Structure formats: structure tokens, C-alpha cells
Amino acid sequence: MRSNHYFSVFCILFISLLFFSCSGKQGGKDSVDSKVNALLSQMTLDEKIGQMCQIDPGAIGGQEKMEEAVREGQCGSVLNLFGAREVNAIQAIAVKESRLGIPLIIGRDVIHGYRTVFPIPLAMASSWDPDVVREAFRISSVEASSQGIRWTFAPMIDITWDPRWGRIAESCGEDPYLASALASAMVEGIQGDSLNDPTSLAACAKHFAGYGFSEGGRDYNTTYISEPVLRNVVLKPFKAAKEAGAQTFMSAFNDLNGVPASANDFTIRQILRKEWGFDGFVVSDWGSVEELISHGYAENEKDAASKAINAGVEMEMVSRTYSDNIKQLLDEKKISMAQIDEAVSNILRVKYRLGLFDNPYADTAAEDLLSASSLAHARKTARESAVLLKNSDKTLPLSKKINSVAVIGPLADAPRDQMGTWCFDGREENSVTPLTAIREMIGMNRVKYVEALEYSRDKDTKYFRKAVDAARAADAVIFFAGEEWSLSGEGQCRGEISLPGAQSELISLLASTGRPLIVVVMAGRPLAIAKELADADALLYAWHGGTMAGPALADLIFGDESPSGKLPVTFVKGAGQIPFYYYRKNTGRPASAKSWTPIDSISRDNQQTSLGYRSSQLDYGYTPLLPFGFGLSYTTFEYSDLTLSSESLSDGGTLTASATITNTGDMAADEVVQCYVRDRVGSITRPVKELKGFQRIHLEKGEKATVEFVITPENLSFFNGTTTVTEPGHFDLWIAPDSESGLHGEFSFK
Ligand code: BGC
């Protein structure tokens, strides 16, 4: 009897434990769903429609209009409202004055920091450090939530092959594997350990899908993406974001294979909902439902609303086609009540998970902006994000005992520019510039500063003389080059991707002084910098590094730490080489040094067939300026002893590849060790290389470590146009410091 009793108690405990552990982070799906259903059953149609509308205070016509809409239950979310008091005031109207008291979800673009600004996402991707990135997004969420924000339109995880596209700055670059690892880290950082923690924000994976493939790199433009590229490249980071628990997705502006992304049943209903089982909600991008009309995909606003709802876009950002047309669409049976109920349930589910019903208000005492630890992390992130692209004769690091340094250039003291694009809430007075940090590091009187060009596009050469004189008088010259913040980001696309203004001209003049010339590039995209790379003795690509860019760069320039970033995008020689990405196909006629005839060596009487007939360009050749994954260090690393645990991998098995990495230089540093694979033959042609793993390791001087990568059949799978398969055959594998070198091995999959 007694033992039976113990047994039942044990069972109850076990079942409860199981229930609580399964319900895990999201507070119990069943209990949330029963609350959602109970609330839904009390809602009028108008209230349901209200939940599907997101308003912007400015766009709706001001504070009063916004308050009225909230009071009447005509909106489920407000974006671009911030400040704990302001948010609490509008939330009080929603909770206390609207009929059902449904709280609002307050959204904002917190893309790479709130008040503490982290490096732009493309820079953070250069760190190849998911832990550091996760923490950066955690800090951003803590800061933003203290201002009443509980939903961020991040992470932006559009893969792109086009540096002309301004939004490359917001992306993780070209590679689906790296972007997926970072997407997960970003979602984890944003959403924290538990969604209903008041510092957790709902993440929004954007822009779904294909936005980064806009033709010509012109923002908002058409995209044509084959299903294999869509599934093997574009969708990979989105799948990772979903698996990390991202609560919302944003439908993009672009037209994807003829169907705008914001009315795309295939990507939203078929892939996101059915195949991946997403149970959060989908918000449109700003006005993208209404824009279905400009796309020529909808006749009018009613048609636009119908198409977006049918495709599964559940909340409309800013445009008003839902509020104005849903009732009529229901009457006409163009959409169903079941679709509306599903949309509203998905929205309410996220609000419940965030704990908004229990705790709708921001804690006005919680403000936690720019704390010392946040700034320290911003400095570390910026340090890890900088990529050393050249360092002849160990020009860097400079000694702190150096007598004099000439600091020159438009980005040396540009507090707003260094914060980069998508930075609504950072303040330039909080930015510490490289000039300030260098002065602090070696003393004011050893630094001679000549701005020379007032801003990046400046073409006025009147201060060039002064700059050259300062360079001649100094022991070393540091030129801070780059782009203003407003030359990258949404709608900020370029046709040429060279350094703007007269910067390049000045760099050549400075090089001709013969003084050691260090060029630091602070930009929002990978610029075509072949000439500057040749002119400089050392070149550090620092992107827009955020609030703490200055101190981070001083740490690197004066050798407190070694640069350790690696490129998350291929650097092209010029815009005419775009697109150029490392996981390109081999083609039937790959070029080589032997086949390529540079344009200047073509003889006047050459014959039609004498130019190789290989896949290359007469001017740029067949290689990029710098490969994906590339980045130097102040120390040197030797790669040796590649070992594969077996010659073949079988279904259900694993294969371990390992190599020894030794720090053979004279300084402790981090190295990002990369693992690439090539599938030699496929049912559709396969890329020449694909990243399958990476690890950032720290090695003291002389230290060595064995780095292991586990390969599974799943790692090797791909969508071949019909299905996802891992095909038997031969594979190459590299453990490498970048995508073009490394130790090579082989294995087969049987
Ligand atoms: C952008 C989105 C952003 C939204 C809200 C749009 O213009 O494309 O990325 O989240 O505005 O600000």
C-alpha cells in the first residue's frame, strides 16, 4: 500500500517535472494557448482586427490619434515609442481604458545596440564569436527594455553577395553557416533565458525572404532566387533563428520570383509555418502590404490586404489596409474567420509569453544605460570585429613609446559616423573616437592631428599640404579612412564601392612621404580598396565600430591585443566583380593563372581563341581581392597534423576532423579556425567550398591546441531542387585559416 502511495507521489512529481521542463522557456504552451483561446472568445471582430495593426505615432498623425486608437482597441502594437514613462502612459490606456485591457507590444529597431552602440552587425560577424555577439544583444535588450521596448526588429539575417547594397552593413555577410550561428546567438541574446523576464525582448528575424539579393544592389529591388539557393543559402539563418525560438518574423519588401515577399504563401505558409512549425507571428515590413499595389501584385488596398492575409502576414506595420478592409474581405469570403483567429492567436501567444498581461509596464527605476560593463563589452566586441588585412614588416603594433604619431583623416574624430547605420538611440556625445583614445593612450602632445578632409566625400584638397607636413614630421602616420554612416544602411546603396571623396588621393600622398603608413578603414560595407591596400604598410578594416570604436582601435594599434577578426564577406577588386562569393560553383571552365591573360598583355594581333576561354575577366582576373575568412594577426599560427577519424562516413555516423594549431609568433592571440568541405559530385552542381564549422581559440605564445570538427551526414545535406539529400560520394575537407588555404584531407560518404 505504502509503496504504492510513494509510487503515485513519485509519478505526480515526475509528470509535473516533465511538464515544467517541457514548457521550458515559454511558460507552458498549453496554458498559454488556453489563455489565448479564452481571450479570443471574448473579442469582437473589431478588436481582433485591432490586434493585427501596428501603428507608428508619427505616421498615424500624432499622440492624440495614437491614444484614441489604443483606447478603442484598434491597434495591437506601437513602434517607435520609447522612454519608460511614455510607454507606460500608452500602455495604461491599453490596459485600463480599452474594453479587454489587452497590452500593447512595443517595438523598435534595436539593431546593434541601444544607447551603448555595438559595431554594425557586419562588423560583429567579423568577430566569428557567437558568445560575444550573444552578450552584445543581451546588453542591448537590457538597455532597450529599460525604456519600455519589448520587441526588436532584429536580427537582420539576410544573406547578400552584393556590397553595393547598403543593408549589407546590417547583415552577417555572405555565408549561411556563419550567419546561422550568429542568428542563433542574436536571438538567444535578445530573448534571454526566459521570454517573460522583463529584460527579454521578442526577436524578429528579418527580412523574410530574399531581400539581400536585390538586383544591382539597389534596395527594395526584384529578386530571382532558385529554390536550391533559397533553401541552401538564404533560408538557412532564418531556420536557425526559428530553432533558437525567434518569436516573430518580418516579411520583406522585395518581389521574390514574381511574388512579393509580403504576399508569399510559399515562404510564409508553406516553409515557415508548415515545414518549420513556427508558432509566433509574422509582421509586414513598413508599408510593405500597401506596396503590393506598386509591385503590380494587388489592384488596390483591399486586394493587397487579402493577398497578404492569405499568405500569412498577421500584423500590418503602418499601412492601414487591414483595418480598412478586413470586414469587407470576410463578407466577400476572400479571407476566412479562421485565418483572422489564427493570426490573432499567434499575436496574443507572443504577448502572453512575454508576460505582458501580468507585467505590462516598464520599470522606471530599471534604467541601465551605458554601464561600465556594457561599455567594456562594446570595446571587446569592436576589438574582435576589426580585421587586419595587411601588415608589412610588422608595421603594427606601434610602440606606446613612439615619439610622434600623425593622426589624419575624416573618420579619426567622427563620433556619429563611427556609430554606423540603424542607430536611433545611440548618442554621438557618448562615442569615444580614435583620436580621443589615441591621445589618451600615448599622451596629447605626441599626437599631431590633421583632419585634412572634413567628411568622407570631401574632395577639397586644401589641407593636403598640412597633412603631408604632419606625416613627414611623425614617426608613423595613421589615416582613418572610410564612409560616413549615411552611405550604408537602408536605401543607401552605391554603384561604385571605392573610398569616397579625395581620400584615396591623400593616402597616396601620405604613402609617398615614406613614413610608416597605417590605414584604418571605418565603413559600412566591404569597399574596393586594392589601391589603398597597395599604398599602406598596414591596413586594419574596422567597419563602423560603435560607441567604443576608438578605445578598441587604440588597444589594437598599440598592441594591447592582436587583431583577430576574419572577413565575413569576400572583398572584390571593384564593383564590376560583383557577385563574388567563396562558395561559388566551379563552372565547366574554371580559370587559373595559366589561362588568364591580363588585359594589358593582350597583343594587338591576338587570335579569337588565344585568351583562354576560361571563366574570368580580362581586367580583374578570376580571384577576389581578399577571400572570405581572411584576417591576419600580430602573431603567426601554424596549422599541422590534419587527422580524420575515418576515411568514410556512413548514415547515422560521425567523422571527426582535427588539426593542431600552434602559436609560432611572439604574442598571445586568438585565431578563428575554419573547417570547409567540398562535395565533389552532386545531383546538382555543388559549391567549390562550404564552411561547416569554426572555432575561435586563444593561444599563448608557443602554445598549441588540437581543434576538432565533427562532420555528420546532416552537415553535408543540401536541397537538390526536389528534396534534401546527402549523396554518397567523395568529399574534400580543409581545416584552414581562411577559405583559400589550409590543410587538406579527403573522405567519402557511403
Ligand atoms: C525596414 C525594417 C525596419 C522597419 C521599422 C523598414 O523600413 O526595412 O528593417 O525594421 O522599417 O523601422
Rounded to the nearest angstrom, the distance between the alpha carbon of 457 and the centre of ligand 1 is 26
Domain-located, residue 499: yes
Residue minimizing CA distance to atom 10 of ligand 1: 153
Q: How far apart are the first and last CA of the chain?
A: 56
Q: What is the DSSP string of 95-138?
A: IIISSS-PPPEEEE--SSBSSSBPPPHHHHHHTT-HHHHHHHHH
Structure confidence at residue 24 (pLDDT)? 37
**Residue 428 in this model has a pLDDT that exceeds 50:** yes
Ligand 1 centroid to 422 CA: how many Å? 9
pLDDT of residue 175: 98
Minimum CA distance residue for ligand 1 atom 5: 286
Domain final residue pick, 532, 557, 582: 557
286-323 per-position pLDDT tens digit:
999 999 999 999 999 999 999 999 999 999 999 999 99
Mean pLDDT of the region 68-77: 97
Higher pLDDT, 174 or 610: 174
Pair 236, 270: CB distance under 8 Å: no
3-state secondary structure 648-667: EECCCCCEEEEEEEEECCCC
Q: Say if residue 427 is in the same domain as residue 553.
A: yes
Domain that holds residue 666: 637-749
User: What is the average pLDDT across 344-373?
Assistant: 95
Which one of 79, 109, 289, 290 would you pick to mutate in the ligand 1 pocket, going by the greatest count of ligand atoms within 8 A of its CB?
109
Asked if 164 contacts 217 with a C-beta cutoff of 8 angstroms, the reply is yes
pLDDT for residue 335 is more than 50: yes
pLDDT at 474: 98
Is residue 167 in contact with ligand 1, taking CB distance under 6 Å? Answer: no
Domain-embedded: residue 603: no
What average pLDDT does the structure give for the chain? 95
For 263-276, what is the mean pLDDT?
98
Question: What is the pLDDT, as a whole number, of residue 7?
Answer: 45
Q: How many CB atoms lie within 10 A of CB 678?
A: 18
Q: Residue 406: inside a domain, yes or no?
A: yes
Q: Are residues 517 and 647 in the same domain?
A: no
Q: In the structure grid, which three cell numbers stand for residue 255, read together? A: 518581389
CB of 620 shorter than 6 A to ligand 1: no
Residue 130 has pLDDT above 70, yes or no: yes
Q: Are residues 542 and 650 in the same domain?
A: no
Q: Give residue 552 CA to ligand 1 midpoint distance, Å.
A: 29
**Which residue puts its alpha carbon closest to atom 12 of ligand 1?**
109
pLDDT, mean of residues 638-646: 98
206 CB under 6 A from ligand 1?
yes
- Residue 477 confidence (pLDDT): 99
If asked whether residues 499 and 644 sit together in one domain, one would say no
Residues known to be catalytic: 285
Of 286, 285, 317, 291, the closest CA to residue 304 belongs to 291
CB-ligand 1 contact for 153 (6 Å cutoff): yes
* Atom number, ligand 1, closest to the C-alpha of residue 80: 12
What DSSP designation does 350 have?
Answer: H
Task: Supply the pLDDT for residue 607.
Answer: 77
Question: Is 90 exceeded by the pLDDT of residue 10?
Answer: no
From 165, 262, 285, 421, the mutation candidate for ligand 1 (largest count of ligand atoms within 8 A of CB) is 285
Report which secondary-structure segment, H or E, holds 541.
Answer: strand 538-541
Residue 722 lies in a domain: yes
Cα-to-centroid distance, 151 and ligand 1 (Å): 13
Within this chain, do residues 658 and 524 fall inside the same structural domain, yes or no? no
- At 418 the three-state DSSP class reads helix
**Can you give the CATH number for the domain in which 408 is found?**
3.40.50.1700
Long-range residue pairs from 449-452, CB within 8 A, at least 24 positions apart, any chain:
449/406, 449/407, 449/408, 449/412, 449/413, 450/406, 450/407, 450/408, 451/408, 451/409, 451/410, 451/412, 451/413, 452/408, 452/409, 452/410, 452/506
CA of 285 to the centre of ligand 1 (A): 6
Q: What is the CATH number of the domain that holds 677?
A: 2.60.40.10
Residue 472 lies in a domain: yes
Span of 23-37, 173-187, 238-252, 557-571 with lowest mean pLDDT: 23-37
Query: How many Cα neighbours within 13 Å face the side chain of 230?
Result: 18
Provide the CA 328 distance to its chain's centre, in angstroms: 40
Closest CA to 341 of 26, 69, 52, 28: 52
Instruction: Answer whether residue 26 is part of any domain.
Output: no
pLDDT value, residue 610: 64
Quote the ligand 1 centre to 625 CA distance (angstroms). Answer: 32
CA of 427 relative to ligand 1 center, distance in Å:
20
pLDDT at 35: 98
- Residue 3: pLDDT band by 50, 70, 90 thresholds? very low
Instruction: Give the position, in ligand 1's atom list, of the atom nearest the Cα of 252.
Output: 8
Last residue of a domain, one of 530, 557, 584: 557
**For residue 29, what pLDDT is reported?**
79
pLDDT band at 609 (very low <50, low <70, confident <90, very high): low
Looking at residue 15, its amino acid is I
Q: Is 177 in the pocket of ligand 1 (CB under 6 A)?
A: no
- Indicate which atom in ligand 1 lies nearest the CA of residue 170: 9
Residue 745 — φ and ψ, nearest 5°?
Answer: -140, 180
Are the C-beta atoms of 451 and 410 separated by less than 8 Å? yes
Please tell me the residue having the least CA distance from ligand 1 atom 11: 286
Determine contact, residues 150/354, Cβ cutoff 8 Å. Answer: yes
Q: Is the CB of 170 under 6 A from ligand 1?
A: no
Over the Cα atoms of the chain, what is R_g?
27
The answer to the question of residue 321 being in a domain is no
pLDDT of residue 21: 40
pLDDT average, residue stretch 606-621: 85
Q: Give the pLDDT band of residue 4 (cuts 50, 70, 90).
A: very low
The three state secondary structure string of 680-731 is: CCCCCCCECCEEEEEEEEEECCCCEEEEEEEECCHHHCEECCCCEECCCEEE
Amino acid at position 123, single letter:
A
**Model confidence band, residue 11 (pLDDT cutoffs 50, 70, 90):** very low
Rounded to whole angstroms, the maximal C-alpha distance in the chain is: 104
Higher pLDDT, 82 or 428: 428
Are 381 and 527 part of one and the same domain?
Answer: yes
Q: Answer whether residue 603 shows pLDDT above 90.
A: no
Residues 412 and 548 in one domain: yes
User: Based on the domain organization, do 650 and 505 belong to the same domain?
Assistant: no
Predicted pLDDT of residue 604:
86
| Ligand 1 center–CA 577 separation, angstroms | 29
227 grid coordinates: 529554390
- Please check whether residues 411 and 553 belong to one and the same domain: yes
Tell me what percent of the residues of the chain surpass a pLDDT of 70. Answer: 96
Determine what percent of the chain falls in helix, strand and coil, rounding each to the nearest 5. 35, 20, 45
Domain co-membership, 530 together with 668: no
Give yes or no for residue 109 CB within 6 A of ligand 1: yes
**Average of per-residue pLDDT across 509-534:** 98
pLDDT the model gives residue 625: 98
Ligand 1 within 6 A of 377 CB?
no
Which of 557, 588, 620 is a domain's end point? 557
Is residue 546 in some structural domain? yes
In this structure, which residue's CA is closest to atom 8 in ligand 1?
285
Provide mean pLDDT across the span 147-155: 97
State the amino acid at position 139 in one-letter form: I
Domain count, the chain: 2
